[in-house]
């Protein structure tokens, strides 16, 4: 009996170690600084193929998220991947996932110094947050977008374009919050 347990545990341990070895990047990958970029490009190509088929949008969303996760910090393609993930998630009805992806895209854009894209993506994330009824989150995202473009070196024309979008978003959030308050004031059954 003891021998059988040792053999069983030995098989389990061997299986776990083999699985871990398959999941970990090889030393060749670890030494290749472009490994993440190459991997991301393959996932993006797969995602683009799936994005043509509505029933595959959830899979495409996942591939875009994964592609962004293996790209290095500051790589603008990660922003594009997350933006696509956010859009596809929105259209599949997964608003929480959409919000996470769009907010992450805005953060990655900020890390890369692209304040115009960061501001725009944070506004998009705020819009999704308001659709979820997360008006406080939406307001915070709008304020972050406003601060992002206010302190940048954008031309007045570009800054005003973004600030006008922020004003539109703020109005939408205010209307949604007022509606939620009105519904709450009515109480159940009224």
Mean pLDDT of 42-59: 94
pLDDT in tens, 94-141: 999 999 999 999 999 999 988 889 989 999 999 999 999 999 999 999
Rounded to 5 degrees, what angle do the CA atoms 97, 98, 99 make? 90
- Name the residue ranges covered by the structural domains of the chain: 32-112, 114-190
CATH of 32-112, one of 1.25.40, 1.10.3720, 1.10.3470, 3.30.200: 1.25.40
Q: How far is CA 139 from the centre of its chain?
A: 18
For 64-75, what is each residue's pLDDT tens digit?
Answer: 999 999 999 889
Both tokens of 189, joined, read: 């059954």
CA 65 to each of CA 77, 104, 136, 152, 178: distance values in angstroms, whole numbers, following the listed order: 11, 10, 25, 28, 34
């Amino acid at each position: 009996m003891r021998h059988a347990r040792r053999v069983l545990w030995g098989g389990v341990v061997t299986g776990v170690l083999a699985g871990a070895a398959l999941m970990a990047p090889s030393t060749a990958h670890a030494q290749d600084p472009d490994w993440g970029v190459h991997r991301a490009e393959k996932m993006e190509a797969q995602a683009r193929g799936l994005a043509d088929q509505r029933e595959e949008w959830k899979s495409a969303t996942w591939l875009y998220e994964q592609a962004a996760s293996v790209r290095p910090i500051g790589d603008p393609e990660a922003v594009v991947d997350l933006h696509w993930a956010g859009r596809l998630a929105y259209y599949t009805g997964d608003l929480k996932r959409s919000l996470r992806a769009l907010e992450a895209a805005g953060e990655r854009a900020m890390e890369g110094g692209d304040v115009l894209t960061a501001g725009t993506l944070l506004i998009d994330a705020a819009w999704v947050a308001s659709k979820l009824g997360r008006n406080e989150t939406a307001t915070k995202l709008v304020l972050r977008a406003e601060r992002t473009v206010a302190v940048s070196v954008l031309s007045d024309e570009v800054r005003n374009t973004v600030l006008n979008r922020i004003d539109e978003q703020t109005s939408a959030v205010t209307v949604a919050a007022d509606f939620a308050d009105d519904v709450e004031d009515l109480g159940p059954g009224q």
